[in-house]
Amino acid sequence: MAGGAATARPAAAATNYLIVTVEQAANQIQRFSNGTTNWNGTPDWYWTAPSNANTSSWYRLSDVKRRTTAKWDDVLACTSSGTSDLGGRAAMIRESDKSIVWSVVVPGNPHSIERIKGHGAVVTASSRARVFGTTKNDWQNGGGINVFVPSTLGGTPPTSFADSISVGFPGAHGVWWDDANELLVATGKDELRAYRLVTNGSGIIVGLSLAASLALTGVGHDVQPDYASDKIFYTVGGDSSNPGRGIWETTLLRDTTTGTWSFAPPTRIHDWLFTKSYSRLPDGTGFWQDAPDANEWWSDTIGFSGRADSVRSGAKFYKARFWSHVLS
């Protein structure tokens, strides 16, 4: 009945990979090699958010993913949480000249970003509404998944939140485009979801359709692929009283008879409390950002399995990502 998930991405030949982070002390995107443990000094690639970041929508960079585009070459897609009255921001920074090639204000404390290959659409996951005067539990005005879709294939996404496609998802924190299965995977309060794209006759995205759902206990903080296999990792925050806390792995399964999707029963691989991101490199090395307690979501350390952690003195790392599917 149930068919297997897509073929795993091939492992790279080398083990000296590049890691990209968001670092909130300097409010920068920073890139380092996982071959070193001392990350002090100038990163080998970095970009600084606009200088008024502490009082604007650029406040506190919250996610970054490196993506290849036909229009702007390689970009760093990023989000920032912003301030409570202004909202946050989603943007794409061109790698070659560090110019902002696209950005939009997102009013819902965006925690994560993705770009949908082949459509040019940008997706954000916002944990809650942060429009001045609303309550924290108003999930509809900015909370959830927001898709910014170009009006033509290969075009530029809109730069107005009002022009996005919005799907309510309480506590949405993580989003990832599964290009092998062509599904948008997102995590939030009490649930991991996979969405199909709904398109019109011209191939333009007009909506999302729920394809699969997996219950969890707590708030899912992040979702990332395992670059060494077809597994999917998601992190769930919470103190020791939350039975759903930790790092979990699952896979997407497609029933070859009905064409329906489901998540495989999950397995908890680490009983950790406040992990904000987790993945594995193509050689199987796990890497993560793990906060020290509930009041501090950052750390000066990125952990790696099988070796000492990498440390940058005074840093406030919030997320860590594999720079590319291909060794740069």
Residue 103: enclosing H or E segment and its boundaries? strand 100-106
Structure tokens belonging to residue 37: 């443990």
pLDDT given at position 97 = 97
Tens-binned pLDDT, residue by residue, of the chain (328 aa): 333 344 444 444 446 899 999 999 999 999 999 889 999 999 999 999 997 656 688 999 999 999 999 999 999 999 999 876 678 999 999 999 999 999 999 987 899 999 999 999 999 999 875 444 444 444 444 469 999 999 998 899 999 998 999 998 988 999 999 999 999 999 999 999 999 999 999 999 999 999 999 999 999 999 999 999 999 999 999 888 999 999 999 999 999 999 999 999 999 999 999 999 999 999 999 999 998 888 889 999 999 999 999 999 999 999 999 998 654 3
Q: What 3-state DSSP class applies to 54?
A: helix
| CA-based max dimension of the chain | 56
pLDDT given at position 324 = 83
pLDDT given at position 325 = 60
At residue 183, φ and ψ (nearest 5 deg) are -130, 145
DSSP code at position 135: -
Q: What 3-state DSSP class applies to 315?
A: coil
pLDDT given at position 133 = 44
Rounded CA separation 237/218 (Å): 7
Computed from CA positions of residues 279, 282, 286, 288, in that sequence, does the dihedral angle turn out positive or negative?
negative
- Do 57 and 82 contact (CB within 8 A), yes or no? yes
